[in-house]
Amino acid sequence: MPKVLIADALAPRAAELLIEGGMKVETRLKMKPEELTAALRDGGYDAILVRSDTKLTRAVLEQAQGLELIVRAGVGLDNVDVAAAQERGIHVTNTPAATTTSVAELVIGLMLGLARRIPAADRSVRAGQWERKAFMGRELRDATLGVLGLGRIGGEVARIAMAMGMRVIAYDPYMTTAQMAAQNVTAQSIEQVLHDADVLTIHLPLTDETANIINRERMLTMTRGAFIINAARGGVLDEAALADMLREGQIGGAALDVYESEPPKPDNPLLTLANADPNINIIFTPHIGASTNEGQVTAAIQAAQIVLDFFKQH
């Protein structure tokens, strides 16, 4: 009977499915690194399920005994040292499609929030003010949305945006012009997307090639007053440069769900700017893109099914 460790909070259905499938399941949350190391060394676990909080570093994995499978219930594997796992013959996977709708809908919400200054207007009314003229917005219909990365999430954002009447252009080095055209999206170079976009939404993984890919030089080529949204990975966007661009008015608004350091440090240049100037059009959310009831249930079910299928085959 395979033994499975659930190390982060997952929807209860994950454990239920695993138990129904004949697995022995233990849930141990918020373990310190030394506790996690000891658990994987001495606990006899065949598989571990994580979300984002548990960090499966090389130091941890080098002590793991008998571990065969790591499943992250979510997109990406930022908290798993994949190379270290593979060196030990541990299979690593995730649930990339589980929270597509959740993240895409957040991006659309952030875009609307920027266009209509919704968070700032809300704060104003709460403060007893009634400043209708201070919150003049802009329509998104007929605006151009630039998408960097037309994968599952970027593609869903594009689909919703087109339903709102937006024109969508995109850059994705892994998709052909014909593949984009099949989604009614115009393929362009990254430079052209930046130049033409009224709203830029980033959906790129963080790699050596994409680190700070949206920097000061590239932001200067954008339409003055354009919006930038990043709900992908912190580090693909130069936060200090973005703060400068917002201060100078080159960028008209920004919304971030992810950050170079999470949680962002108190001296984060964007937080510093927003706290100093309440008129800056910026929205912060605490990496909640995948945080919907539906998305988390789907991720949990898919993660559990991966474990069940794996041990049927091994």
Active site residues per annotation: 233, 262, 287
Q: Which two tokens stand for residue 2?
A: 């395979």
CA distance 299 to 297: 5
Question: Residue 109: CB partners within 8 Å, gap ≥ 6?
Answer: none
Indicate the length of the chain as a whole number.
314
Sort residue 107 into left (φ over 0), alpha (ψ -120 to 50) or beta: alpha
CA 115 and chain centroid, separation = 21
Question: Residue 265: CB partners within 8 Å, gap ≥ 6?
Answer: none
With contact defined as beta carbons under 8 Å apart, do 147 and 201 qualify? yes
| H-state helical runs in 213-292 | 216-219, 239-248, 269-276
Going by C-alpha positions, the residue among 85, 107, 198 that lies closest to residue 151 is 107
Phi, psi of 254 (to 5 degrees): -145, 145
CA distance 222 to 11: 42
For residue 168, what is the enclosing H or E element? strand 167-171
Q: Which two tokens stand for residue 306?
A: 């991966």
With contact defined as beta carbons under 8 Å apart, do 109 and 102 qualify? no
With contact defined as beta carbons under 8 Å apart, do 306 and 71 qualify? yes
Q: Which two tokens stand for residue 106?
A: 């957040």
